[in-house]
């Protein structure tokens, strides 16, 4: 937060020095003369997207959250994260502080758009879309904050000086209410399809609303929103009959199920770092550069041990070795299984395109939410769960029942357990599993079963940065999350 404020203060200080100059530059850019044209509005919203795709909340956050998942283990500087019976040590504490700062940077930039763009003379339809994108991105940032920190300061106006920094921790319910309000405003004015999938669309807002309703256990609304997306026929599941077909899903800008994704250049240092953290140094399957080998598969996890190898997603997500100069080389014995999803492939998939929302998600949201709302799985809920499983097993006609389908007759809790398992297999390394374990209140027992370690309460929430407590006059050390 301090970095955000200092940037604004620096601009104010520059402006205050005008009287010291004999001549004031006529083309000096300041907030008062920048937000004038449609091009300025476009540049402002792009700056929000740029902040959201920052390295701190792609590579670093993915690494830390995936290390919390039952199917993975951190190595190198991420090894201490595995100590779930202890609070974060200093290195990880500093990394999650960077997440906080980045999300509030996103929020502040979105607030700038929402405060400045309404006064710009430009095409009104496009103006509404830009404002809707800002609402979407602000909601997205607050969703990350409330999920992992709990109660957080709500800042809904641009911060331009230190007098505006003070904000108490708003209750979790208030933060979620703001997120829902922002997403509804976004849903109303976002375009049917974004400017490619790197920009928010109406359907991305609907899926995110369904996601939020899931957090709040508002099952009926979650199911309804997911159902809207499925019935829209705007997207379709990619047909998979062999393992390599999955690359078509992750070739985001040509995939029929890509609803919203982040796109990086081939030389970007954003998500590429996460990709490099997955692979062994001499492995030829990682996308770019040198592998750092800091996240590997937990072979003791029941999720991995019980994964049917006929499920093509198993082949797509993990590997035990590779061919080097025509000779098969096993992974090191200390890390016999590594993650394979994000690689450069002959089909053209590149790891610098990162899926955030894809069409498989509303199927699984609907299955879980409708079952929880109705008290048992309906035929439609079961069918939508099985559609995703059939695709995983390589069935080309997803409308036809298969021998691998989940059976009928499950109780509510049994069915939900299958949905959560299917989410783990479908969205491995896609920023889902850790939150699924938290929101279902199963992280303690799953961590014990998969890693044989107690998960303490202090790890249920991230620590608030000490810098925020020091600089925010509305906070004291008593506002810190438990254990820090």
Instruction: Say yes or no to pLDDT of 430 above 80.
Output: yes
* Phi, psi for 260 (deg, rounded to 5): -160, 130
CA 469 to CA 456: how far, in whole Å? 24
239 and 387 Cβ atoms separated by less than 8 Å: no
CA 138 to CA 384: how far, in whole Å? 31
* 3-class DSSP state of 99: helix
Number of residues in the chain: 484
Q: What is the pLDDT of residue 293?
A: 86
Which tokens go with 150?
Answer: 């709990």
Average pLDDT value for residue range 172-178 = 98
Beta-carbon contacts of 269 under 8 Å, excluding residues fewer than 6 positions away, are 55
Helix residue ranges, H only, 2-89: 2-16, 31-34, 38-52, 59-68
Average pLDDT value for residue range 7-34 = 41
Average pLDDT value for residue range 224-228 = 98
Q: What is the DSSP letter of 352?
A: T
Encode 111-135: b = buried (16+ Cβ within 10 Å), e = exposed.
Answer: bbbbbbbeebebeeeebbbbbbbbb
pLDDT (tens digit, 9 = 90+) per residue, 132-174?
999 999 999 999 999 999 999 999 999 887 777 899 999 999 9
Of 7-16, 314-323, 375-384, 420-429, the poorest mean pLDDT is in 7-16
**Percent of the residues in the chain that have a pLDDT greater than 70, as a whole number:** 87
Q: What is the DSSP letter of 346?
A: T
Instruction: Count other Cβ atoms within 10 Å, centred on residue 146.
Output: 23
CA 358 to CA 260: how far, in whole Å? 7
**Selection from 228, 37, 176, 44 nearest residue 119 by Cα:** 37
Would you call 9 exposed, middle or buried from its count of C-beta atoms within 10 A (0-12, 13-18, 19+)?
A: middle
Instruction: Say yes or no to pLDDT of 28 above 50.
Output: no
């Amino acid at each position: 937060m301090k970095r955000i404020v200092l940037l604004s203060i620096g601009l104010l200080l520059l402006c205050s020095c005008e009287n010291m100059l004999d001549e004031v530059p006529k083309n000096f850019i300041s907030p008062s003369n920048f937000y004038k044209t449609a091009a300025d509005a476009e540049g402002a919203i792009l700056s929000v997207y740029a902040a959201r795709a920052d390295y701190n909340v792609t590579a670093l956050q993915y690494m830390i959250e995936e290390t919390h998942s039952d199917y993975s283990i951190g190595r190198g500087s991420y090894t201490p994260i595995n100590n779930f019976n202890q609070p974060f040590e200093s290195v990880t504490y500093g990394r999650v502080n960077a997440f906080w700062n980045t999300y509030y940077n996103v929020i502040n930039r979105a607030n700038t758009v929402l405060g400045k763009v309404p006064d710009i003379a430009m095409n009104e339809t496009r103006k509404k879309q830009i404002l809707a994108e800002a609402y979407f991105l602000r909601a997205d940032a607050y969703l990350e904050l409330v999920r992992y920190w709990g109660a957080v300061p709500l800042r809904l106006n641009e911060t331009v000086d230190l007098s505006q920094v003070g904000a108490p921790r708003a209750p979790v319910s208030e933060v979620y209410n703001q997120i829902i309000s922002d997403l509804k405003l976004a849903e109303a004015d976002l375009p049917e399809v974004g400017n490619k999938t790197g920009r928010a669309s109406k359907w991305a807002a609907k899926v995110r609303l369904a996601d939020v309703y899931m957090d709040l256990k508002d099952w009926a609304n979650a199911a309804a929103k997911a159902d809207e997306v499925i019935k829209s026929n705007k997207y379709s599941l990619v047909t998979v009959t062999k393992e390599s077909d999955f690359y078509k899903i992750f070739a985001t800008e040509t995939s029929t199920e890509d609803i919203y994704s982040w796109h990086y250049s081939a030389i970007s240092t954003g998500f590429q770092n996460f990709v490099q953290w997955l692979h062994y140094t001499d492995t030829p399957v990682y996308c770019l550069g040198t592998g750092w080998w800091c996240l590997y598969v937990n072979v003791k996890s029941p999720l991995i041990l019980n994964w049917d190898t006929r499920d093509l997603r198993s082949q797509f997500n993990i590997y035990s070795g590779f061919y080097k100069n025509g000779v098969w080389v096993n992974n090191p014995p200390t890390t016999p299984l590594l993650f394979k999803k994000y690689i450069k492939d002959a089909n053209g998939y590149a790891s610098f395109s990162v899926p955030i929302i894809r069409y498989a998600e509303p199927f699984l949201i609907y299955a879980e939410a409708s079952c929880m709302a109705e008290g048992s799985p309906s035929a439609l809920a079961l069918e939508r769960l099985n559609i995703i499983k059939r695709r995983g097993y390589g069935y080309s006609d997803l409308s036809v029942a298969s021998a691998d389908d989940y059976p009928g007759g499950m109780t509510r809790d049994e069915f939900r357990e299958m949905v959560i398992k299917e989410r783990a297999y479908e969205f491995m390394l896609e920023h889902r599993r850790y939150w699924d374990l938290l929101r279902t209140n199963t992280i303690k027992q799953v961590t014990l079963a998969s890693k044989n370690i107690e998960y303490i309460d202090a790890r249920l929430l991230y620590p608030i940065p000490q810098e925020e407590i020091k600089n925010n006059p509305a906070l004291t050390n008593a506002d810190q999350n438990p254990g820090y």
